[in-house]
Amino acid sequence: KNEVEQSPQNLTAQEGEFITINCSYSVGISALHWLQQHPGGGIVSLFMLSSGKKKHGRLIATINIQEKHSSLHITASHPRDSAVYICAVGGGSEKLVFGKGMKLTVNP
Amino acid sequence: EAGVAQSPRYKIIEKRQSVAFWCNPISGHATLYWYQQILGQGPKLLIQFQNNGVVDDSQLPKDRFSAERLKGVDSTLKIQPAKLEDSAVYLCASSRQVFGGYTFGSGTRLTVV
């Protein structure tokens, strides 16, 4: 069993839909990261969470430490949101443990 | 602040050839990571440096891969000789020593033919 599990693995949505991506982990963590990877390889860090909730633009990330679960929500989705979204745990001088990622396609 | 710089952006080589990747982390970030990401999979840690010392290289195929971080700043990752299965994106990331976020480079896409 992977230490970091993401669901769903793939998601296709229509523009404007509200999207939720889930991440569950089985190890103790100092922080959880949500990363975005577009075709071509580069990774952008969206959020780093250790508790509660963070919001940036149309993106909201939440974490429940007791349940070892995090969600990334995208409101009013847009085709430019199409990417792979990766959940990873760890932080600072700790190596990151990555989920396999979720491929999101938002159709116009 | 400037991001993590990586070069080259793309590289195509034949099997058994050698290749080197370069990474310049964010100034002041003591921890530097090299990750290998095979298509369809999450990144896998190859090596972690703390300043110029190796913290974790347990998943680095040492018979063909080597990495160094001279003076605790820039780092190079070398593959010699390359195999077809080394085709992947090689990502460099850096972070502050104390709890902090990661910054990733744009990656180097390697194709071995």
Q: Are B86 and B108 within 8 A, CB to CB?
A: no
Mutation to test the B interface, candidates A93, A94, A100, A103, most B Cβ within 10 Å = A93
Predicted pLDDT of residue A93: 59
Count CB atoms within 10 A of the CB of residue B89.
21
Whole-number pLDDT of residue A2: 67
Residue of B nearest to A6 (CA): B42
A25-42 per-position pLDDT tens digit: 987 777 899 999 887 667
CB pairs under 8 A between A and B: 70
Handedness of CA B71, B75, B80, B85 (dihedral sign): positive
- pLDDT tens digit sequence for B44-98: 889 999 888 998 899 999 999 999 998 889 999 999 999 999 999 999 998 875 4
pLDDT at B104 over 90: no
pLDDT at B1 over 60: no
First to last CA, chain B: 37
Closest in B56, B99, B109 to A30, CB measured: B99
Q: What percent of chain A has pLDDT over 70?
A: 93
- Letter for the amino acid at B31? T
B45: contact with A, CB 8 A cutoff: yes
